[in-house]
Amino acid sequence: MLRHQAGSFNCDADDLSRRTLLLTTMSTKVVGFETFTDKYTTDPSFGRIFQVATEGHRYDFALYNGYLFHGLQLCIPDYSLRTKLKQWDLALPQAKFAYKRSKNRTTDLSPFEIVYGQKPYGIIRDINTKYKSRVDSHRRHILFDVGDFVWVVLTRDRFPVGEYNKLKDRKIGSYEVVPKINDNAYRLRLPSHLKTSDVFNVKRLSPCFVDSDDTTLNLRTSSFQPGVNDAGGSETDDVELSDCTLMALRYHELADQRKGGS
């Protein structure tokens, strides 16, 4: 029987009374609490400590009714209940989400609907529709068939290493569409000297309107073989000049006029 002592002599009595209250409360509210005493001996964290405390060689740990205490803290073995306690923070968002979506029997509305006037997934659906319409407004609605000839815009990553510069022709062609992969990707019949993938996105393609009997196709100066065109001719052949070449010629013409005027 515990008797009340005055001053510092009452510390031990208080500790024992608190442990009794803790054990009584947890044993009546926690399912499976009584199985803790059987788990201490095989527990990887408290197994050795439990054995030493049983022999009376550990004074920082104490045994009370088969339960291991560190001060006033109950030592919980590595058990499924212990794992659930650690994962409670992960379950809180799920419980919060379930609460906000559960309907009230009186209003027949969820708390989220009462505050915002609509369900959560309704807002997400409306935002996705808004984003889709904005992106679709810039989409090129153009389709090519097998056998069509197209111009190809080359991006920097399409050029071989050391071949790219800002004066290179970015648009090459025209080339024939062979298999159509889908509405966004097409495979082209490229010359063998072009060291790049033959699959292009539709945004890199533009239609080339030529006569099917025209024999001057693919005579544009090659971006990869200076001085030679795709058909095996030379720069002296009658080929179409690029925009960069025209700008350079215009620049030199204006420079000569300024020199003559001065």
Average confidence (pLDDT) over 137-154: 81
167-221: pLDDT as tens digits: 666 777 778 888 888 888 888 888 877 778 888 888 888 887 755 554 444 444 4
Provide the number of structural domains found in the chain: 3
CA-to-CA distance for 227 and 33, rounded, in angstroms?
Answer: 87
Locus of tokens 């439990």 = 50
CA-to-CA distance for 47 and 53, rounded, in angstroms?
Answer: 10
Same domain? For 57 and 120 the reply is no
221 within a domain of the structure (yes/no): no
Q: Would you say residue 13 has pLDDT above 50? A: no
Same domain? For 81 and 94 the reply is no
- For the entire predicted model, the pTM comes to 0.33
Show the domain range for 45. Answer: 10-85
Q: Would you say residue 64 has pLDDT above 60? A: yes
Q: Would you say residue 132 has pLDDT above 70? A: yes
Same domain? For 21 and 76 the reply is yes
Lowest mean pLDDT among 84-98, 100-114, 116-130: 84-98
67 within a domain of the structure (yes/no): yes
Locus of tokens 């000049």 = 241
Final residue in a domain of this structure, among 85, 103, 118: 85
Q: Would you say residue 233 has pLDDT above 60? A: no
242 within a domain of the structure (yes/no): no
pLDDT band at 1 (very low <50, low <70, confident <90, very high): very low
Average confidence (pLDDT) over 54-82: 72
101 within a domain of the structure (yes/no): yes
Final residue in a domain of this structure, among 210, 229, 249: 210
113 within a domain of the structure (yes/no): yes
Write down the pLDDT at residue 230: 46
Same domain? For 183 and 205 the reply is yes
Same domain? For 95 and 56 the reply is no
Residues 6+ apart with CB under 8 A from 46: 40, 68, 75, 77
Final residue in a domain of this structure, among 210, 226, 253: 210
Write down the pLDDT at residue 215: 45
234 within a domain of the structure (yes/no): no
pLDDT band at 82 (very low <50, low <70, confident <90, very high): low
